[in-house]
Chain A
Amino acid sequence: MAKKSLFWSVTSILVLIVAYILTTTVILPVATKNPLPEAVLPKAEVKADNASKKAEKSDNAWKKPEKAAKGAKKAENKVQNNSDSEGIVTNSKDDLSKYFELKKSENILRSRYNLSSEDSIYLVLDLINKIARLEMKGIPLHDTNIKEVWISNSIKVYHTDALLHWISQPFVLKNAVSTIERIQFLVKNAPKDTIEANKVDAIPVPRRTEDVYIIMNFERNLQLVIQQSETSEGADKLRIDSLKSEIFKREAEKSIKALSTFKRDAVIPRIVITLPKTDAITIYRALPQKLKMVLRM
Chain B
Amino acid sequence: METEEKSWFRKYVPWVIPVIIFLWIPTILLYSPAYQNAAYGVKSWFTSTQINVRNIDKQILTSKSNIELLQDKLNNLIPDKAYILINATENKFVLRNSRDTIRTGMCSTGKDEILIYPNGTRKPFKTPKGMFSVLLKRKDPVWTKPDWAFIEEGVKPPSARSAERYDDSTLGAYALSIGDGYMLHGTLYQRFLGLPVTHGCVRFGDANLEAIYNNLDKGAKVFIY
Cβ contacts under 8 Å, B131 to chain A: 119, 136-137
A121 to B50 CA separation, bound complex (whole angstroms): 35
Whether B152 sits at the interface, judged by CB under 8 Å, is yes
Beta-carbon contact of B63 and A156 below 8 Å: no
**Which chain A residues have a beta carbon within 8 Å of chain B's beta carbons?**
3, 7, 10-11, 14-15, 17-18, 21-22, 25-27, 29-31, 41, 45, 48-49, 52, 86-91, 93, 95-96, 98-99, 102-103, 105-106, 109-110, 112-113, 116, 119-121, 134, 136-139, 141-142, 152-154, 156-161, 183-197, 204, 206-207, 248, 251-252, 254-256, 259, 264, 266-267, 278, 281-282, 285-286
Whether B44 contacts A106 by the Cβ 8 Å rule is no
**A28 to B: closest C-beta gap in Å:** 10
Give the nearest-CB partner of A206 in chain B.
B195
Q: How far is the CB of B50 from chain A (nearest CB, A)?
A: 6
Considering the complex, give the chain B residue whose CB is closest to the CB of A161: B51
- Once A109-B74, A190-B117 are accepted as A-B contacts, the answer to whether A102 and B60 lie under 8 Å apart by CB is yes
Interchain CB contact under 8 A, A45 and B51: yes
User: Does the CB pair B60–A25 fall under 8 Å?
Assistant: no
- Is B163 in contact with chain A by the CB < 8 A criterion? no
Residue B169 lies at the interface, judged by CB distance under 8 Å to chain A: no
Binding site secondary structure of chain A: helix
Q: Mark B83-97, 1 if CB is under 8 A from A, else 0.
A: 101011110000000
Across the interface, do B124 and A21 meet the contact criterion of CB distance under 8 Å?
no
| A142 CB contact (under 8 Å) in B51, B57, B87 | B87
In the complex, which residues of chain B have a beta carbon less than 8 angstroms from the beta carbon of A266? 36
| A-B contacts, 30 listed (Cβ < 8 Å) | A7-B14, A10-B18, A26-B35, A29-B36, A30-B43, A31-B43, A41-B51, A89-B54, A102-B67, A106-B66, A106-B67, A121-B129, A153-B40, A153-B43, A157-B41, A157-B47, A183-B112, A183-B126, A187-B114, A189-B116, A190-B116, A191-B153, A194-B153, A195-B154, A196-B154, A197-B154, A252-B30, A267-B37, A278-B89, A282-B87
Q: Add 16 more A-B contacts to A3-B11, A121-B225, A197-B155 (CB < 8 A).
A: A7-B14, A10-B18, A18-B24, A26-B36, A49-B51, A87-B55, A96-B52, A106-B63, A106-B70, A139-B79, A152-B37, A190-B115, A190-B151, A193-B154, A204-B197, A252-B32
**A105 surroundings in chain B (CB, below 8 A):** 63, 67
